[in-house]
Chain A
Amino acid sequence: MTEPVVYIDDEPLLCRATEAILGRSGIAVATFTDPLAGLAYVEAHPVAVVLCDYRMPRMNALELLQQLARAVPFYIVSGELDVARLAAGNPRVTGVLTKPFPAEEMLELVRAHLPTAG
Chain B
Amino acid sequence: MSVALPVETLRRLFADFVRHVPMAAAAFDREMRYLAHSDGWLAAHGDTTTRDILGLTHYEVFPEIRDEWRELHRRGLAGEIQRRDHDYFERADGRREWLRWLVAPWRDADGAVGGILIYTENVTEQMDTRRRLDQRESTIRDFFAQSPLGLNLCRMDGLWLESNPAFLRIIGYTHEEADGGLTYWQLTPRKYDAAEAAQLEQLRTTRRYGPYEKEFIRKDGTTIPVRLNGFLIERESETLIWSLIEDMTEQRALEREVEEERLKAIQASKLAMLGEMAAGIAHEINNPLSIIELFAYTLQGALDGGDAATAREAIAGIRAAASRAGKIVQGLSRFSRESQREPRADVEIDAIVTEAIGLCRARLAGDAIALTVDVSTRARVEGHAIELTQVLVNLLNNARDAARGAEPGWIRITAHDVADAPLVEIAVEDSGPPLPADARDRIFRPFFTTKKVGEGTGLGLSISRSIVERHGGTLDLDAAAPCTRFALRLPVVRR
Contacts and interface: CB of A to CB of B under 8 A. Distances in A.
Interface string B340-354: 000000000000000
Interface in A1-56: 10-11, 13-14, 16-18, 20-21, 24, 55-56
B283 A18 contact: no
Contacts of B290: 14, 79, 99-101
Interface string B9-40: 00000000000000000000000000000000
A11 B291 contact: yes
A21 B282 contact: no
A80 B291 contact: no
B298 A79 contact: no
Contacts of B295: 13, 17, 20
A75 to B, nearest CB: 14
Nearest to B304: A24
Nearest to A17: B294
A11 B298 CA distance: 17
Given A16-B317, A17-B317, A79-B282, A60 B366 contact: yes
Contact of A17 (B291, B366, B368): B291
Contact of A80 (B279, B289, B317, B368): B279
B321 interface: yes
Given A57-B365, A80-B282, A80-B283, A20 B293 contact: no
Interface of A (DSSP majority class): loop
Interface string B276-295: 00110011111101111111
Interface in B251-308: 278-279, 282-287, 289-298, 301, 305
A81 B278 contact: yes
Interface residues of B, number: 30
A103 B297 contact: yes
A109 B186 CA distance: 85
A68 interface: no
A79 B292 CA distance: 14
Given A13-B320, A20-B298, A100 B292 contact: yes
A24 B298 contact: yes
B457 interface: no
A105 B123 CA distance: 117
B298 A57 contact: no
B320 A55 contact: no
B373 to A, nearest CB: 16
Contacts of A14: 287, 290-291, 294
Contacts of B313: 16, 20
B283 A55 contact: yes
Interface of B (DSSP majority class): helix
Contacts of A13: 291, 295, 317, 320-321
Interface centre among A20, A81, A104 (most CB of B within 10 A): A20
A60 B366 CA distance: 7
A60 B362 CA distance: 13
A55 B294 CA distance: 19
A59 interface: yes
Nearest to A10: B365
Nearest to A16: B317
A115 interface: no
A24 B302 CA distance: 9
A80 B279 CA distance: 6
B317 A99 contact: no
Interface of B: 278-279, 282-287, 289-298, 301, 305, 310, 313-314, 317, 320-321, 362, 365-366, 368
Given A24-B298, A78-B283, 20 more contacts: A13-B295, A14-B291, A14-B294, A17-B291, A20-B298, A20-B310, A20-B313, A21-B294, A21-B298, A55-B365, A56-B366, A57-B365, A57-B366, A57-B368, A79-B284, A79-B285, A100-B286, A101-B293, A102-B293, A103-B297
25 contacts: A10-B365, A13-B317, A13-B320, A13-B321, A17-B314, A17-B317, A20-B294, A20-B313, A20-B314, A21-B298, A24-B305, A55-B365, A56-B365, A59-B368, A60-B366, A79-B284, A79-B287, A80-B283, A82-B279, A99-B289, A100-B289, A100-B293, A101-B293, A103-B294, A103-B296
